Amino acid sequence: MDIDRMVALFVRIGAPVLDSMIARGGGDFIGEFGAPLQARVIAETLGAPELAGKIPAWVDALSSGPLEPPERQEILGAALASLRFELERVIDASRETSSDNLSGALDQRNADSGLCRAATLSFLGLWLVAAWETTIQLLANLVIAWSACPEACEASAGDVAGRARLVEEVLRLTPAVHAIDRIATENVSLFGETIPENAIVLAFIAAANSDDEIFPHPRRFDPNRDHSALLSFGQGAHYCLGAKLATLQAAALAGMLAERSVRIGLRDEPLPWRWTLSLRTLPRLDIAFSRA
Ligand code: HEM
């Protein structure tokens, strides 16, 4: 996957959308910018730009709530069937033409390691869900931070290193994935407590990112602080595979906002946050743009 090409695409498609929103004085940032752009970026990583229009409904069906009522099962069944059909088509086409995209490359690698097609399909399903709300919400959280601290955001967004620090501070203070779960494979002693074998542990990334021994004055928005202990993309073997792509997309958005010298206001107060065990997201983000 060529990350630079993905980011260039993000800017090429995103710039006119942003300009149109600015010209209209604002709009729903998630519905008009975040979601359509992310659908296109994910489709591009799969090697199938034509699937962008289908991605929102697939992700919605795969990630929403329990399998009740029965209509939900039908929606999920139909989404899985359509997703499987399209991914099989993309994988076959990529392998025939030896295209350099995730779907074909992963399937080839899996086949070489003796893994079946189901392994590729299951990973690509995870890819869609993992890349969707997380990145859309990071972009939205950057916009929210910009509305609250425009001077600090503009000052950071002037160069590559500053944009990276700005995105890390947004990820620290408002991590879209605020908790991850684990199962203890053996008894573990931690700070005088024992976590028994087989216990389910919910590790709060958001709390760790606000630990004042690691991040002094943790509630202060300070892009210039040291982010080396940031946990927003997880850690270790399961460290986020999309961290670089998502970070560069958000940095590109920061660059676009700085170039346009805009002020951002939030039209929805309080914001309509949705919480799940692991995610904190917004269904929409109504914003107003004005010239700085
Ligand atoms: C701001 C955006 C994102 C955030 C905050 C985020 C966060 C995370 C976190 C915390 C994990 C670790 C989960 C765990 O340890 O249980 C993870 C894993 C993962 N992420 Fe992301 N993610 C983001 C964007 C993306 C994108 C854009 C992609 C793909 C293009 C992606 C693909 C994945 C995958 C495949 C895993 C599983 C890795 C594994 O289990 O080995 N993520 N992500």
CATH class of 3-177+239-291: mainly alpha
Pocket of ligand 1 (CB under 6 A): 45, 126-127, 130-131, 134-135, 138, 175-177, 180, 232-234, 238, 240-242, 245-246
Strands of the sheet with 262-266, listed across from one edge:
26-28, 286-291, 262-266
Spatial distance between the Cα atoms of 18 and 32, rounded to a whole number of angstroms: 9
- Tell me if the bond preceding 270 is cis, omega within 30° of 0: yes
> Which atom of ligand 1 approaches the CA of 175 most closely?
5
* pLDDT per residue as tens digits for the range 205-253: 999 999 999 999 999 999 999 999 999 999 999 999 999 999 999 999 9
Whole-angstrom Cα distance, residue 253 to residue 139? 7
Q: 22 with 285: CB under 8 angstroms?
A: no
For the stretch 55-69, pLDDT in tens is 999 999 988 766 677
Pocket probe for ligand 1: among 241, 248, 279, the residue whose CB has the most ligand atoms within 8 Å is 241
Find out whether 103 and 46 touch, Cβ atoms under 8 Å: yes
* DSSP assignments along 194-206, one per residue: EE-TT-EEEEEHH
- Angstrom distance (rounded) from CA 120 to CA 108: 9
In this prediction, residue 97 has a pLDDT band, given cuts at 50, 70 and 90, of confident
Q: Residue 198 — very low, low, confident or very high, per pLDDT cuts 50/70/90?
A: very high
pLDDT at 96 (0 to 100): 80
Predicted local confidence at residue 73, as pLDDT: 87
Q: Best substitution site from 37, 120, 233, 281 to test ligand 1's pocket, by max atoms within 8 Å of Cβ?
A: 233
Range of weakest confidence among 24-28, 72-76, 227-231, 282-286: 72-76
Q: Helix count (H) and strand count (E) of the chain?
A: 11, 9
pLDDT value at position 69?
76
High-pLDDT (> 90) share of the chain, %: 85
Question: pLDDT digits over 23-51, tens only?
Answer: 999 999 999 999 999 999 999 999 899 99
